[in-house]
């Protein structure tokens, strides 16, 4: 008998791609598709923005940038403060849902700095999660809890945005149709879909305790009362953020706030989908396209001031707060490190004096 027939035949080695579970292959495929779509959206927005900006007179842009009145700047700062103040409630709701007792001053610091950093740098799950863990971990909050907190805060944002979008699209369908060249029934249909989503979610979480699984870990969603608070706080935050840009727009545009907030939400959503830091380029291109019937220089000047008020200034303040927070922690750690030695010196001095 041939010796080869007696030898056990080892199974053929599988490549790493073949070894993946079908669900993992599908998830990877969808991740690549999502990344490609984000890059395509970002690139197309940059092209549109470049064509628009190339036709702008630089001198007129400078005058438009400096034409904002003290009243406009003051209102923009006020709405920015209201928006970031409501953002601290995102974390407060999430901490209550997770049954974590954290002082509000710590919650406010973690929330403000995480959002200010993530709004500017992008990749919110990574940047905001890192800042939150930096601040919450000394309070005993574990990484899994920080991740759950970040997800619940994100749910608050999207619920509030959906409510405001539904209200704007349904109540201002005709004005939006003339502004962005869509049909009234299309605006109402999208608004109705957003309203149905919010109502369905509220009914869903009201019937019993709901939980979702994300990357293998289980997250329990807030019930009716906390979800209602999420919607109202998220809606207030979205309206305040839209108010920052609205008050900076030049006078005479003739757009009411209810109509403008829908344009603002679509610009924010496209910016989030592009994964560009702060939606940079995509947000501006969407606003300029929607307001294409108005002079571009004043609108772009308002957009630059909006970036300054809502992104750059809070980002600088957040960095200063994080720096001060780290310096304070270092000083406290140094005091604790030297305290036992100081006690020993005092004890030896007392013994020597006897």
Give the pLDDT of residue 236.
96
Q: Record the pTM.
A: 0.77
Give the pLDDT of residue 278.
74
Are the C-beta atoms of 98 and 145 separated by less than 8 Å?
yes
Give the pLDDT of residue 1.
46
From residue 110, give the alpha-carbon distance in Å to each of 72, 151, 308, 318: 29, 15, 22, 10
- The total of other beta-carbon atoms located within 10 Å of residue 354's CB is 4
With CA atoms as reference, report the closest residue to 296 among 231, 250, 236. 250
Are the C-beta atoms of 120 and 315 separated by less than 8 Å?
yes
Query: Residue 65 gets which letter from DSSP?
Result: H
Q: 26 pLDDT exceeds 80?
A: no
CA distance 117 to 79: 19
State the pLDDT confidence band at 337, using cuts at 50, 70 and 90. Answer: confident
Token pair of 235 as six digits: 């809606």
CA distance 353 to 334: 29
Q: 76 pLDDT exceeds 50?
A: yes
b/e code 305-342 from CB counts within 10 Å (16+ = b): bbbebbbeebbeebeebbeebeeeeeeeeeeeeeeeee
- The total of other beta-carbon atoms located within 10 Å of residue 66's CB is 9
């Amino acid at each position: 008998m041939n010796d080869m027939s007696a030898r056990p035949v080892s199974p053929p080695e599988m490549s790493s791609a073949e070894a993946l579970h079908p669900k993992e292959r599908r998830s990877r495929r969808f991740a690549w598709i999502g990344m490609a779509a984000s890059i395509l959206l970002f690139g197309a927005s940059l092209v549109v923005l470049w064509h628009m900006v190339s036709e702008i007179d630089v001198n007129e842009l400078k005058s438009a940038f400096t034409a904002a009145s003290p009243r406009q700047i003051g209102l923009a700062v006020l709405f920015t403060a209201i928006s970031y103040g409501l953002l601290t409630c995102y974390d407060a709701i999430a901490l209550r849902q997770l049954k974590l007792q954290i002082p509000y001053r710590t919650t406010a610091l973690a929330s403000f700095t995480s959002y200010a950093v993530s709004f500017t740098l992008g990749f919110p799950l990574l940047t905001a999660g890192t800042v939150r863990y930096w601040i919450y971990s000394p309070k005993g909050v574990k990484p899994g809890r920080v991740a759950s907190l970040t997800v619940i805060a994100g749910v608050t944002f999207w619920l509030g945005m959906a409510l405001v979008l539904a209200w704007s699209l349904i109540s201002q369908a005709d004005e939006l149709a003339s502004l962005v060249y869509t049909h009234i029934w299309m605006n109402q249909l999208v608004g109705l879909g957003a309203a149905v989503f919010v109502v369905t979610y509220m009914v869903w979480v009201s019937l019993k305790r709901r939980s979702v699984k994300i990357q293998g870990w289980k997250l329990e969603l807030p019930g009716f009362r906390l979800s209602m608070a999420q919607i109202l706080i998220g809606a207030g935050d979205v309206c305040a953020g839209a108010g920052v840009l609205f008050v900076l727009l030049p006078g005479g545009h003739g757009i009411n706030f209810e109509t403008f907030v829908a344009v603002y939400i679509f610009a924010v959503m496209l910016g989030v989908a592009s994964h560009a830091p702060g939606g940079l380029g995509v947000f501006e291109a969407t606003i300029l396209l929607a307001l294409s019937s108005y002079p571009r220089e004043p609108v772009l000047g308002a957009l630059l001031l909006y970036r300054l008020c809502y992104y750059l200034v809070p980002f600088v303040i957040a960095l200063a707060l994080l720096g001060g927070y780290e310096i304070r922690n270092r000083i406290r750690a140094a005091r604790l490190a030297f305290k036992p030695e100081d006690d020993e010196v005092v004890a030896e001095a007392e013994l020597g004096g006897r």
